[in-house]
């Protein structure tokens, strides 16, 4: 549900240059491989022992700002990657018997100073080698401590290599909708998934320490942008079928079918780069953006959009679980203090009970104001959320966020897992509560 740290898409980049292939750095020495985690309809499991694997851990997030005030994920940024702090964090996770950490791959910026996995806007390198080296270093450090890593790949890297593949988007698809509906953009994102996975294989050799590759932090469409910003016209998205935008059923189907095709392409990209790689993606609920169901984008805006309405529409995890080979799904939830609210109702607005693939709580967290700024109440609330979602079928829990102390964007609104001498961590950590489904 968060609107944090998303860089602009920058679709004006020319698409007429020849493509190039960057050279990756030499393979780094690998730590002792972890057993591969696989997934079936029942959940995640250790492929060696066959035992259930329950992801428990945190989102590890470092943030920075450019001189112009643009925020970005700096965890793996060359010159900012801090191995000493990484090791201290992973040592604490290991001590508390956590087994998973979720991290974010910064896709970069079209404006100097450049950062992230794109060296600079004119680069024809698919992957910036020093950045990928740092990601591989983190994974090695984690797997040496028995911890799996879940990297999240937002959008596509901000350079000409990928935007040459993407080309100009269709005229009646705009803004965030391009990410999932435009054929060129989907092709470019598939290439990114392949290149990133291949870069990890080259550096690590054995990629068992990567739990899965997440193609998206939070899948969403925008009903204030084409083609959903008016009840007229047609659109032919990535699956090649034409939909009537005056029909609510067609509007919903255009989004659903596009997401299905997008997911198929993302899995194809992952396995092209890493044949053993799993695919996941994140979703917030309808309730998080003031909606109760998938209703065909009935709440939309053509112009003079209200600042009091959230026009985002979440992707529909049910269609992904039914019609693609995604391995598992990540649901995100931040409880609110309002009449009639419940965790059950929140998840049910996104049809979670009908999913045919396992899901984990890839993000769950505590907004300070929702607990009257009482961290002890927040800790109890997080424990209760964990128990309730377990009863509803969740197979894992990753808290937002471990120790993101940077006062950037909306982050100060959220409690950290380590805050207040670890008040929330002390009630969530597996060493204190081995069974996350019990008090």
Which tens digit of pLDDT belongs to each residue from 245-300? Answer: 999 999 999 999 999 999 999 999 999 999 999 999 999 999 999 999 999 999 99
107, 101 Cβ separation under 8 angstroms: no
Q: Exposed (0-12), middle (13-18) or buried (19+): which is 249, by Cβ within 10 Å?
A: exposed
* Per-residue pLDDT at 9 exceeds 60: no
- Which pLDDT score is estimated for 412? 97
Categorize the per-residue pLDDT at 29 as very low, low, confident or very high, splitting at 50, 70 and 90: very low
The pLDDT of residue 63 is 98
Q: Which residues contact 429 (CB under 8 A, 6 or more apart)?
A: 96, 97, 98
Percentage, residues of the chain above pLDDT 90: 92
Note the pLDDT of residue 389: 98
**pTM, to two decimals:** 0.94
pLDDT tens by residue, 341-400: 999 999 999 999 999 999 999 999 999 999 999 999 999 999 999 999 999 999 999 999
Please state, rounded to an integer, the average pLDDT across all residues of the chain: 93
Quick check: 5 pLDDT over 70? no
Out of 29-38, 100-109, 187-196, 383-392, least confident range: 29-38
Tell me the C-alpha to C-alpha distance, in Å, between residue 45 and each of 35, 40, 52, 286.
10, 8, 4, 29
Q: Given a cut of 90, is residue 7 above it in pLDDT?
A: no
Backbone angles phi, psi at 199, to 5 degrees: -65, -35
User: What radius of gyration do the chain's Cα atoms show?
Assistant: 21
Specify the CATH superfamily of domain 37-428.
Glycosidases (3.20.20.80)
pLDDT band at 322 (very low <50, low <70, confident <90, very high): very high
Average pLDDT estimate for 230-241 = 97
Answer whether residue 20 shows pLDDT above 80. no
Cα–Cα distance measured from residue 83 to residue 229, given in angstroms and rounded to the nearest whole number:
46
Q: Which tens digits make up the pLDDT trace of 46-89?
A: 999 999 999 999 999 999 999 999 999 999 999 999 999 999 99
Q: What is the distance between the alpha carbons of residues 30 and 380, in angstroms, rounded to a whole number?
A: 39
In the structure, what pLDDT confidence band is assigned to residue 24 with cuts at 50, 70 and 90? very low
């Amino acid at each position: 549900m968060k609107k944090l740290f998303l860089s602009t898409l920058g679709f004006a980049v020319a698409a007429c240059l020849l493509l190039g292939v960057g050279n990756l750095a030499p393979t780094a020495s690998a730590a002792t491989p972890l057993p591969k985690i696989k997934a079936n309809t029942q959940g995640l499991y250790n492929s060696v022992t066959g035992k259930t694997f329950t992801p428990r851990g945190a989102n590890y997030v470092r943030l920075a700002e450019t001189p112009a005030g643009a925020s970005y994920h700096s965890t793996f940024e060359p010159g900012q990657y801090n191995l000493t702090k990484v090791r201290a964090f992973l040592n604490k996770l290991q001590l508390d018997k956590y087994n998973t950490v979720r991290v974010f791959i910064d896709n970069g910026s079209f404006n100097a100073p450049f950062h992230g996995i794109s060296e600079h806007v004119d680069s024809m390198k698919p992957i910036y080698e020093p950045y990928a080296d740092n990601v591989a270093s983190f994974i090695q450090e984690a797997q040496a401590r028995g911890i799996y890593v879940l990297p999240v790949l937002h959008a596509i890297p901000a350079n000409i290599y990928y935007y040459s593949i993407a080309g100009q988007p269709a005229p009646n698809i705009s803004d965030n909708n391009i990410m999932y509906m435009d054929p060129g953009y989907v092709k470019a994102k598939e290439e990114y998934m392949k290149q990133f996975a291949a870069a990890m294989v080259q550096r690590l050799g054995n990629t068992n320490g990567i739990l899965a590759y997440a193609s998206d932090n939070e899948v969403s469409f925008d009903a204030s942008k084409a083609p959903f910003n008016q009840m007229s016209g047609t659109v032919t998205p990535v699956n090649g079928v034409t939909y009537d935008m005056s029909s609510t059923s067609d509007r919903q189907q255009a989004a659903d079918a596009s997401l299905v095709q997008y997911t198929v392409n993302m899995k194809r990209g992952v396995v092209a780069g890493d044949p053993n790689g799993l695919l996941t993606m994140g979703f917030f609920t309808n309730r998080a953006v003031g909606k109760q169901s998938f209703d065909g984008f009935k709440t939309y805006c053509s112009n003079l959009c209200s600042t009091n309405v959230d026009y985002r529409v979440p992707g529909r995890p049910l269609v992904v679980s039914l019609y693609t080979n995604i391995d598992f799904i990540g649901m995100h939830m931040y409880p609110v203090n309002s009449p009639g609210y419940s965790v059950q109702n929140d998840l049910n607005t996104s049809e979670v009970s009908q999913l045919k693939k396992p899901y984990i709580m890839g993000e769950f967290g505590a907004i300070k104001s929702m607990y009257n700024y009482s961290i002890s109440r927040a800790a109890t609330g997080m424990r209760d959320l964990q128990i309730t979602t377990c009863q509803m079928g969740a197979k894992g829990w990753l808290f937002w966020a471990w120790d993101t102390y940077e006062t950037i964007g909306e982050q100060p609104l959220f409690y950290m897992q380590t805050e207040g001498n670890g008040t929330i961590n002390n009630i969530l950590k597996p060493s204190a509560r081995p069974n996350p489904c019990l008090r």
